[in-house]
């Protein structure tokens, strides 16, 4: 249905919900979802705003392909100023919530102000109202979804909500929809909690309409689905093994950050990999992995659904965790595992379930536990402070700390600060492994040089999904480049960042890019959306969105100094593997990247660049 | 001489039974054995040999038939995969 041309503006302070027409002039320049919502956000919010103040806003946005039969067309994003980072945040989620919002007739929801008491937003097509959420406050994501569905007597309602971590101020809280899909990074759930907004419940029955050329769209979408089906990665590799298949690949390449990036290879990697998930456990003869799963409209189905070992120490006498549920995906398995030196697959799944149940980012949580374990190893944090022994490799500590963080208990409150604030508090800021206060994902910048530049320059802090050069440097998509060299990485990172901005603004999943290029997306957008959507126009949208986000961050106070990596990655060489002896070449790549972007030496877009992009 | 041979994802079906739990096993090879020789010895489908690494370094398809394995090296092979 491309755009519904309607925005829902929710004033939480005054408790009102109003409909507005979508700015179609902006839609032609920023497409939708990430791009268009960010345009709204920066037009309405002071870049210096405290992320947790009522003056910050939060937008839930769909793309023009969300809700259409385009493969993976179920995405939605949350745009705000991130609690964790203080930078522009855009967290993208799959599942079914985004499509439902579209079916209810809304392109996006803009939340402003702060409710005087806990509320949730109920949407049934045109009807939108804030409802009391006193009975939901203090509940988990899973409980909240169940209670709302029972209250409305409608099991088909789709819910996005925060758990207790979002209420308790965990700085990397998520907004979780459909039980285990999440707008996961940068603390968007923390912002939602600060507004006393517990959940958004949507039921949409208006269906599909408004495509510019419906016949042409279905032909383009069908052709693009065939590209995904015929591709060995999206047609076979991802559905069979999921993202977790990377665990052994990245370990073999010496780029698996281990024990807070002290090492680049994990001796226990095989035991927490996709291959391990698929084999039968000695304890009960069942495999950890139950099946794969797909989000709305997805023809890839990379998701993992697993069942924890009922005899594992973490879930003994806790039958509520024995059923099949989401996980493990690669990023979570790495952050909860290798990053801490924990090689117990069942423990990782338990911690992952807690992250889903109470809505906090397993990447930032796991990496923060890794930092805490290093502080413990150095004697800076003691058993008494943490409440338990917490050496690297302790599955028991990981599981207990996950529960404590969810509930805001004891040392869990300190872990909820994230690694940057935690390490700063204990006098070791250099031990936080991240950029712009957001923790790294699962690729070491010494073994995959381009990712170091992608992390350093990501507009939402360290992130793999803003410029996934792993595709090229490791997997050869679209072309193979050498992960150990910095040569050519500035242009590579820019190309990935700009293209990803388009996919994130369209309403489809970035995983399609393992098979699709912009040339596969363009016919679908052009048939669905009003106006002429050429390859050139889309490329310009991608670059425009990236520079717009950059301008917001610069105005918020970020400078070139923030486009950097922790000293460990620049001074402590990789000890093993192909990258042995290497450090990150970020200081060489950064100026090359600024030049490729048309920015000055301080990382500020030049007047010429802004004029070229219409900014 | 001995090298370490690893197969992952769908290629693990070609592993000997004793290596299923580790995806890895020691392999005796003669002097001059190349990556391509091992691929043929185990009858691995060429189109599934997408990511070929020796000691973690990528071996392009054009070099598989000339890259000779050395004592103690690790040859690891994956079909087309991806993640994120």
Q: How sure is the predictor about A210, in pLDDT bands with cuts at 50, 70 and 90?
A: confident
Gap between the Cα atoms of A277 and A209, Å rounded: 42
Closest CA to A253 of A449, A434, A462, A393: A449
Question: How many angstroms from the chain centroid is the CA of residue A49?
Answer: 22
DSSP-based helix, strand, coil % in chain A, nearest 5: 45, 15, 45
Numbers of helices and strands, H then E, in chain A = 26, 17
Which residues, numbered 251 to 270 in chain A, qualify as contacts with chain B under a Cβ-Cβ cut-off of 8 Å? Answer: 252-254, 270
Contacts of A607 (CB under 8 A, 6+ apart): none
For B24, name the nearest residue in chain A, comparing CA atoms only: A270
Domains and CATH numbers, chain A: 6-203 (3.60.9.10), 241-439 (1.10.569.10), 449-613 (1.10.599.10)
Closest CA to A177 of A144, A147, A137: A144
- Contact call for B10 and A233, based on CB within 8 A: no
B20 touches chain A (CB under 8 A): yes
Which residues, numbered 294 to 333 in chain A, qualify as contacts with chain B under a Cβ-Cβ cut-off of 8 Å? Answer: 330-331
**In a 10 Å sphere around its CB, with 0-12 CB exposed, 13-18 middle and 19+ buried, how is residue A18 labelled?**
exposed
- Contact call for A275 and B23, based on CB within 8 A: yes
A1 pLDDT higher than 70 = no
- Contact call for B20 and A471, based on CB within 8 A: no
Gap between the Cα atoms of A337 and A370, Å rounded: 9
Q: What is the pLDDT of residues A218-277, one digit of tens each?
A: 999 999 999 999 999 999 999 999 999 999 999 999 999 999 999 999 999 999 999 999
B73 pLDDT higher than 80 = yes
Q: What is the pLDDT of residues A487-508, one digit of tens each?
A: 999 999 999 999 999 999 999 9
A430 touches chain B (CB under 8 A): no
Residues of B in contact with A578 (CB under 8 A): 55-57
Domain boundaries, chain B: 2-70
CB-closest option in A465, A476, A480 to B84: A465
Q: What is the pLDDT of residues A293-335, one digit of tens each?
A: 999 999 999 999 999 999 999 999 999 999 999 999 999 999 9
Give yes or no for a cis peptide into A614 (omega within 30° of 0): no
Question: How many angstroms from the chain centroid is the CA of residue A402?
Answer: 19
- Contact call for B81 and A242, based on CB within 8 A: no
In Å, how far are A166, A479, B25 from A585, measured between CA atoms? 37, 21, 35
For A250, name the nearest residue in chain B, comparing CA atoms only: B56
Gap between the Cα atoms of A337 and A331, Å rounded: 10
**Distance between A234 CA and the closest CA of chain B, angstroms:** 8
- Sheet architecture: strand order including A76-81: A16-21, A6-11, A108-112, A58-62, A76-81, A88-93
Q: What is the pLDDT of residues A533-590, one digit of tens each?
A: 999 999 999 999 999 999 999 999 999 999 999 999 999 999 999 999 999 999 999 9
Query: What CATH number belongs to B2-70?
Result: 3.10.20
Token reading at A435 = 């950029």
CB-closest option in A231, A275, A477 to B12: A275
Query: Among residues of chain B, what percentage have pLDDT more than 90?
Result: 96
Q: How sure is the predictor about A209, in pLDDT bands with cuts at 50, 70 and 90?
A: confident
């Amino acid at each position: 249905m491309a755009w519904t041309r309607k925005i829902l503006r929710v004033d939480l302070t005054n408790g009102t919900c109003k409909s507005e027409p979508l700015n179609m002039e902006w839609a032609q320049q920023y497409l939708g979802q990430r791009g268009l919502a960010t345009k709204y956000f920066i037009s309405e919010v002071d870049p210096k705003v405290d992320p947790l103040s009522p003056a910050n806003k939060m937008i839930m946005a769909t793309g023009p392909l969300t809700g259409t039969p385009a493969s993976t067309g179920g995405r939605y994003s949350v745009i705000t100023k991130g609690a964790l980072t203080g930078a522009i945040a855009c967290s993208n989620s799959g599942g079914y919530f985004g499509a439902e919002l579209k079916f209810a007739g809304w392109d996006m929801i803009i939340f402003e102000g702060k409710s005087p008491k806990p509320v949730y937003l109920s949407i049934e097509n045109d009807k939108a109202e804030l409802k009391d959420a006193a009975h939901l406050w203090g509940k988990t994501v899973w409980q909240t979804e169940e209670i709302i569905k029972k209250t409305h007597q409608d099991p088909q309602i789709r819910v996005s909500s925060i758990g207790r971590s979002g209420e308790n101020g965990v700085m990397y809280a998520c907004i979780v929809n459909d039980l285990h899909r999440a707008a996961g990074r940068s603390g968007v759930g923390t912002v939602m909690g600060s507004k006393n907004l517990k959940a958004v419940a949507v039921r949409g029955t208006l269906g599909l309409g408004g495509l510019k050329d419906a016949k042409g769209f279905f032909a383009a979408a069908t052709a693009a689905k065939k590209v995904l089906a015929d591709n060995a990665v999206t047609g076979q590799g991802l559905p069979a093994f999921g993202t977790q298949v990377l665990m052994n690949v990245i370990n073999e390449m010496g780029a698996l950050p281990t024990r807070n990036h002290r090492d680049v290879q994990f001796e226990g990697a095989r035991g927490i990999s996709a291959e391990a998930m698929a084999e039968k456990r000695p304890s009960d003869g069942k495999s950890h992995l139950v099946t794969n799963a797909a989000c709305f409209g997805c023809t890839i189905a990379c998701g993992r659904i697993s069942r924890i070992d009922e005899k594992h120490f973490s879930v003994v006498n806790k039958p509520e965790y024995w059923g099949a549920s989401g996980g493990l995906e690669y990023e979570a398995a790495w952050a909860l595992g290798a990053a801490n030196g924990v090689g117990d697959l069942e423990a990782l799944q338990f911690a992952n379930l807690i992250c889903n149940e109470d809505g906090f980012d397993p990447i930032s949580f796991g990496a923060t536990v890794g930092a805490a374990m290093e502080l413990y190893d150095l004697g800076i944090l003691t058993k008494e402070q943490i409440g338990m022994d917490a050496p690297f490799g302790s599955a028991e500590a990981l599981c207990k700390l996950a529960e404590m963080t969810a509930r805001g208990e004891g040392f869990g409150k300190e872990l909820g600060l994230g690694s940057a604030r935690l390490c700063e508090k204990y006098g070791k800021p250099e031990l936080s492994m991240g950029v712009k206060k957001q923790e790294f994902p699962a690729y070491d910048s010494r073994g995959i040089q381009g990712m170091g530049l992608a992390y350093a320059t990501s507009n939402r802090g360290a992130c793999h999904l803003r410029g996934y050069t792993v595709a090229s440097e490791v997997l050869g998509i679209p072309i193979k480049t050498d992960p150990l060299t910095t040569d050519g990485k500035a242009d590579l990172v820019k190309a990935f960042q700009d293209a990803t901005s388009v996919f994130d603004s369209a309403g489809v999943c970035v995983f399609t890019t393992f098979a699709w290029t912009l040339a596969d997306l363009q016919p679908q957008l052009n048939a669905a959306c009003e106006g002429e959507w050429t390859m050139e126009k889309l490329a310009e949208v991608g670059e425009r969105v990236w520079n717009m986000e950059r301008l917001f961050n610069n105005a918020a106070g970020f400078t070139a100094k923030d486009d950097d990596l922790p000293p460990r990655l620049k001074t402590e060489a990789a000890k093993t593997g192909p990258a042995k002896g290497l450090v990150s070449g970020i200081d060489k790549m950064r100026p090359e990247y600024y030049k490729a972007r048309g920015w000055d030496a301080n990382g500020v877009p030049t007047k010429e660049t802004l004029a070229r992009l219409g900014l | 001489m001995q090298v370490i041979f690893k197969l992952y994802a769908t290629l693990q079906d070609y592993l000997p039974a004793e290596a299923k739990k580790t995806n890895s096993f020691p392999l005796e090879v003669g002097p001059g054995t190349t990556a391509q020789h091992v691929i043929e010895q185990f009858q691995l489908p060429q189109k599934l040999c997408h990511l070929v690494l020796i000691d973690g370094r990528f071996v392009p398809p054009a070099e598989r038939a000339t890259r000779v394995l050395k004592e103690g090296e690790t040859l690891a092979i994956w079909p087309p995969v991806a993640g994120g």
